A and B are shown apart, each in its own frame.
With several copies, the nearest count.
Chain A
Amino acid sequence: MAILVDASSKVLIQGITGKQGTFHLKQMLPFGTDVVAGVAPGKGGGVHEGVPLYNTVYEACEHHAIDATVLFIPAAYCKDAALEAIEAGIKVIVIITEHIPVQDELIIVNRAKLKDAVIIGPNTFGMASWKCKLGILPNIAFSPGPVGVVARSGTLTYEIVGSLTNIGIGQTSVVGLGGDRVPGSTFVDMLKRFEADEATQVVVLVGEIGGNAEEEAAEYIKTMSKPVVAYLAGKSAPPGKRMGHAGAIIERGKGTYEGKVQALTAAGAQVATFPYEVVEKVQQLIRRS
């Protein structure tokens, strides 16, 4: 079991013939992802790494029932590509691209809401469930098992998920919300899915300073039946300095490390000080259950 997608999900890749698209297609296929189609304008009718190509998403949808799509599309064209996926009726849309203008993100994310599509990202490693990876999480990091992981940042997640995998604790799904100002999905969206997923026993939340996503998550965690282990990056960040992730700007005293730790702890989550402590805490929780 898993959330959002599983081994049976049919996957599209937009921008499949580009450098990034090709590289990650070659990782996604051995992971087990059922990539049924790719979109590459002007190359429709061709085949790339065994995957049939189409000129537009609509065309791909005429030939395949598509459950999810992954966008390896330059930032300037992401709005159009994401809207195309939404309007074509695809319900899980993973946007890897970073540096998408925020005005474009607002349009993508709000249109998706209207059309009941889930956006993962933008500026994310994507997500992975057993035999279905959508994005760029290193294959070796993931292994199947009982832990649900939801994170705002990428490499930190690889670190934590990789460590879990190394000691034999696998994951139901690993989801990266992305580091942008206007993320398509929130911690709460994913926590709800993990709570409802029978296979998930423990949830790991990897947050950051800035914004109020972790505080909102804490509100929901109060109502959850499953244990949550959290790690928050940015404890040492000076106020107001831009740290690449727009979310990591501390505004008006809100979104501080201390505030988030307090909220999560009060909600019953265990908050780790170091990434490696996450693994220890999860191990204890799994043993206990």
Chain B
Amino acid sequence: MKCFEFMGKEIFAQFGIPVPQGRMVTTAEEAEGVAAEIGKPVVIKSQVLSGKRGKAGGIKFADTPAEAKAAAADLLAMTVQGHPVQRILLEEKLKIESEIYVAITIDGAAKAPVIITSAKGGMDIEEQAEEDIVKVYLDVFLGLQPFLAKDLARRIGLTGNLAKSYADILEKMYNIMVKKDAELVEINPLVISGDQVIAADAKVTIDDSALYRQKDVPFVDEDMTEVEKMAKAAGVGSFVELGGNIAIMANGAGITMGTLDMVQLFGGQPANFMDAGGGTGVEGTAKAIQILLAQNPKVIFINIFGGITRCDDVANALAYVKKNIGIPVPVVVRMVGTNQEEGVRILREVGIEAYREMKEAAQKAVELSKAGEEV
């Protein structure tokens, strides 16, 4: 779960990482007040999860409270990548001498936390040459020891008090990773301003699987579509809207991906990725089908290889939705595995014929999605 910048900075402040003086507000009037409080030129940053906020015009500057109010009003009227700006962060404008990049994340292939840092931080970090980027893997049982933080300071050319402050920030970032179950703690830029090192930005991503033990971090769902929010509320395991017209449900991430791939290779356009998971039961599956319907697709394609998932459960769910809610579009079902015969029988009763082969089913679904397009 990605945190907004202001949330990340709250966590930073909690762990003792220096952040600019500032506050998050939701109205232009509040912005004016906070600017007056700060009493210096300010930067006003729209709080959205997109990484390209700066280039999209989501950051403004103001020298006076009145200017801040106007800039805040502009930002609060903006939409960044489809999301209306609802929150803005006002902060003192820093005197930037140089910008450092620093991040801690987890490298699955290396099975280790990794620190990535560069003396050349800022907007174009991804385009930096390999030799300008320092990458160090950590031993999870040793953690980030002070000596390594100090050596990283040396490797990006810091000395004296700046090196000490940087090393200290690095240790605190590591603590955030461990204590807040963060998958990513990124500061870009980490700003050098006089003899101070300050986090001008904050990207913190909390491990979704650990949210249950990070209850004090507010939940953020801004990067989800309305249907995705519905799916989440309905407890559907994994759902992403893709914009096509074939609503797809399968059980298992791999087979779902494989189904999408096949549909696309046959010329169809998947409306979504939905891994309905294993052993969801009748009620859960019925909810999942309703999420499919909420996308107003031209056809629904259900691909089940029954393992933990029982074919009769899926069939009963379909029958239930068809009878009680209604399914206004064609449904293509491929169904094999656990309790297959029973499932096929139930479907037949409500007028749905099940396929055995994934290929044929996928071809049929694509065909139906194109019906009426151009005959």
Contact = CB atoms under 8 A, between A and B. Distances in A.
B207 A101 contact: yes
A107 B105 CA distance: 15
Contacts of B147: 56-57, 80-81, 83-84, 87
Which of B116, B126, B257, B337 has the largest number of chain A CB atoms within 10 A? B257
Interface string B350-375: 00000001110000000000000000
Interface stretch (B36-44, B62-70, B236-244, B314-322): B236-244
B165 to A, nearest CB: 14
Interface stretch (A154-162, A194-202, A220-228): A154-162
Contact of B260 (A83, A136, A236, A247): A236
Given A236-B264, A244-B186, A248-B126, A212 B250 contact: no
Interface of B is mostly: mixed
Interface stretch (A29-37, A259-267, A269-277): A269-277
Interface stretch (B16-24, B27-35, B106-114, B285-293): B106-114
Interface residues of B, number: 80
Given A182-B111, A248-B253, A80 B146 contact: yes
Given A75-B209, A156-B252, A243-B183, A234 B146 contact: no
A78 to B, nearest CB: 10
B261 A234 contact: yes
A1 interface: no
A103 B178 contact: yes
B9 interface: no
Interface stretch (B53-61, B71-79, B88-96, B303-311): B303-311
A266 to B, nearest CB: 20
Contact of A99 (B105, B150, B188, B209): B209
B207 A103 contact: yes
A56 B336 contact: no
Interface string A193-215: 00000000000001011011100
Interface string B168-200: 000000000110010110101000000000000
Contacts of A99: 208-209
Nearest to A125: B307
Which of A59, A83, A154, A238 has the largest number of chain B CB atoms within 10 A? A154
Given A101-B209, A233-B255, A237-B257, 8 more contacts: A106-B140, A153-B257, A156-B254, A158-B305, A236-B270, A244-B205, A245-B125, A249-B116
24 contacts: A42-B160, A55-B150, A84-B145, A84-B148, A103-B178, A103-B210, A106-B106, A110-B140, A111-B141, A111-B142, A125-B307, A136-B307, A153-B255, A156-B252, A156-B254, A159-B305, A181-B108, A209-B257, A243-B240, A244-B105, A244-B275, A245-B253, A248-B126, A250-B116
